[in-house]
Structure 1
Amino acid sequence: MKNCFYSSVVVLGFVALGALPAAAQTTSGTVEIFNEVAPGVVAPGGTAADALNGIGNIELGETDGGLDGFQGSLTLGLGGGALTLSSLTQADWDGGLADRWFDDAWSVYGADIAPLLTLGGLTRADLRTAFDVVGADARLSDPNIESVMELGTGDVDITLAGFVELNSLIDIAAASLGLGSFLSLLPPLPTFFASEVVAYEYQGTSGFLYSIGESPTPSGVVSADGTNSFTGNYTVTLGGTPPSTSVPEPSTLLGLAGAAVAAAWGRRQRRSV
């Protein structure tokens, strides 16, 4: 299992998005909001606050037609500062993300995919080339944000709606390499899981978050368009620093103590009159 920037945390306390004022959620660029329109069914509509507080999600950007499509972002005012989540651009992938993502995927699923490549006389490098040829990066670049939760540790859990299975990407890549006929010669490939990728900016840092190899949590909902979208949720964790709490200066504490003593003395004098 590979989960980029993912770590287990002990929840000492949390600030759910629902505890934030409505003004704390702003969107820019191309976004599509999905909310529940019938029990277990989500469709476009509603507000960003409703989508993040209930059963829905916010899709950032539109990259189905390629990475030159429309970009979108969501900014949230958390206790630890402003968090901006965004769709991805071609420059993001060309800056090293494509190689890192492919390496992470290979580290989890390479042993299962290698026999298919061997049958066709191909190598891992050929599959890496196919990743670019079939536009796998564009398919992973318009994340759907289901919820955001700020933990008492300062970390932030971000849940991505999806159920993206790498099987579909592998099938497409295999076809582009002329390996489609070999698929039937192998035992059924295991189910491959991967979330979409989300870009972030938070507390002076930026990067990308995604999950590879971790089975998604069933969401209990499905998209109304018949594409079977949003049936699984992937949670990635962004490390953060908890909001600082001001500690009174010693002089302030002495002043408060003095005021308390004076108040108590005053009450005593009044009682003795």
Structure 2
Amino acid sequence: MRQSSNGIFLTGDWNGDGVDTPGLFVPGSPNIYYLRNSNTTGTADITLTFGRGGFPVAGDWDGNGEDTIGLVAQGNPNRYFLRNSNTTGTADIALVYGSQNYPVVGDWDGNGADTVGVVARARPNTFHLRNSNTSGTADITLTYGDVGNPIAGDWDNDGIDTVGLVQLNETGSAAHQWLLRNTNSSGVADVTFRYGFGGRQITGDWNGDGIDTPGLTYISHPHAWYIHNHNSEGLDDFGFTFGG
């Protein structure tokens, strides 16, 4: 995964096979993470506890090819607690960065490791991205997009995660609008398409081709996941249930 979670849903390459798969975050004391290594219906392959409360994130913090868990305690400043293995334990990396804004994570400089970022939602949104998992100020600052949910991913397989936005259609009269940019710079979308109705937005490399594409999750019993393998309009490529 190259983005923050949306609600209780997570995605990431938990086993280093190049394919992003589902995860589920259940807040508590401690928090419980349920991670699955395939995009198929079934139960968790990995279950662990980490931290208490907060906002879950996932990324490859050490550049070893596997995404692992993290947690953001939002405040002034935000406090990040990142773990380099999907096992129960304490944080391997702790830092402060940003203030209360929406967390995003990604490989902003193409060095193979995911690092932190925050989005100040406004008109336009301002993205503050940092190239190391250390306390400090932004290495990249840009404005992009208007009302919508910020996302990040490698949309063009160049090894660098870049910004995006999903504008929701709450009425269901049309599909959600996805607005993706291929550089971390201010400007307009390079790729625009409509995909999906309702649900919560996720992104990931679902087929191992190096390109992050959209998906949707729906809270149900069990939760439903629908995956799209292209950054273009179209129907779901496949679906499965996990969690709930």
> Structure 1 length normalisation: TM-score?
0.22
Higher alpha-carbon Rg: 1
Larger fraction in strand: 2
- Structure having the larger proportion of residues in helix: 1
Higher relative contact order (CA 8 A, sep 6+): 1
